[in-house]
Structure 1
């Protein structure tokens, strides 16, 4: 039998113990294979999960990078805006600094110009003063020279006549315009201009005839608050009415009275002055001889012929409207209103003086100029 199957290897004969060990080994191998086959889907799932996680991590990283880039761009924008604001603020500060320097420069130049003007004015005043002193000294030398030679000395008068174009105006260097318009001057005999006393006029002026206790006690102090306690405007007006009805019949006994004015100014040269305009010059002269030197209310009357014939030129044009800026210290006449509006025709200058042509025009220009200066 062995010859019929040549080359065949016979299987080893195992004992029972070896067969059991081989079976156990085989069973373990199969178990391992089964366990391996059961774990293979889990490994694939974990791999898939890991791949999905890696993708999610990549997406998260991309989102974080985008957020970082967005924040960086926002920071860059804020930085740009801050730089722009800083640049604008620096430009404004520079502009303000230059403006301040320009203002300081202009103020300094203006101050220097003012100082130069003041210095020039001071030098001019000093020069004028020296010129006046030299002129006075020259006149004194001439006077001494003439006195030494026993010659008469007379002050020279300006060559201005009543026919001059500037007669009665501020440009009239010879005649006092206030005396021509009101018949009174606050400088009196000390005035630098001539006071032309008329030889004949229809107007008679009595200085200080109307005087009340309040007017006598009044002082030229606008800040004296107690001055108004001594008298009131009502008391003053009542005193004027009593005075008006007391003295007017006496003046009417001389002749026809055309105008009657009583001053209520506080200036010494106008305070209490009474103006009476008659119809003719002869009546005025008669009244002068009758009333001059008489006594009234404890005072002796001082009468004089006044050059006033144009009442619009003598009376303050702003007083009637209560707009005079100087008040009762004005140098033009502030007069009481006559009761019953008596003598209103004369207020319209219906009765004019014979020489009203040139003199009236000059006085009108002067009054208008004074009113304009008062308004300014």
Structure 2
């Protein structure tokens, strides 16, 4: 008997369909073999023996094919398992790498936050230390001033540094400050301002204020502002101011000159000059009035180098009849 032919089936069949196709093919071949035996003219016993041999051979072939199929399925399963394991390994590596990056980023953020907190604490401690040192210095100065006052010594501001005084000697005197005790350039002036440590004349800056003097800055932008006030109103306000403040200055000592500036320049506007008979009286007035409040403003008093009023007063004002009874206006 010839060997059975190799059975061919479409690929990618499931195991169940493969078994069904195999049984169907087996039955087909069995029928074909039985038909061939009948046609060959063999006896019944010979046909049965040949049929049994064919059946056994078919069973062996079926088992062999099933084993091949099982082996194939097992190999496919191994490939899928290997691929799954590889994908799982790659996924775990990515997760581990992401976890390490996250931990590293969190560690850096924590270090930066701790460093920032440390710097803030150091800055806060430094500020507190500086504040404490300033308070201690102020307290020490106050105690020193109180001790000096209790001992009967006079108190004054400290002398400027020697280097600054050397630089001041190299500069020419400012004529505006020498004449009026004020300069439009202030501390930015390129010339020297000889601030007196003692003088019979006391200067109170911007003490006399009126509505007209406050509005003078707006005249260039608001031409109608000058219509809201007059010289007569300003003069009456000056009289009220004169009668209000002069008695207070006289309580300190004898007043030789009392002058108020009506110059509209910012550094001269409303300045009050009080000349006493002696420097001691002027020093007492400075101690009494400096820092006091008048008309909602804190007074700023200082010694003034002006003692010759002819140079300080504008020539036009000397001939005009403005505030003639009480003040010569600069």
TM-score range, shorter chain: 0.3 to 0.5
TM-score, structure 2 as length reference: 0.47
TM-score, structure 1 as length reference: 0.41
Which structure: larger Rg? 1
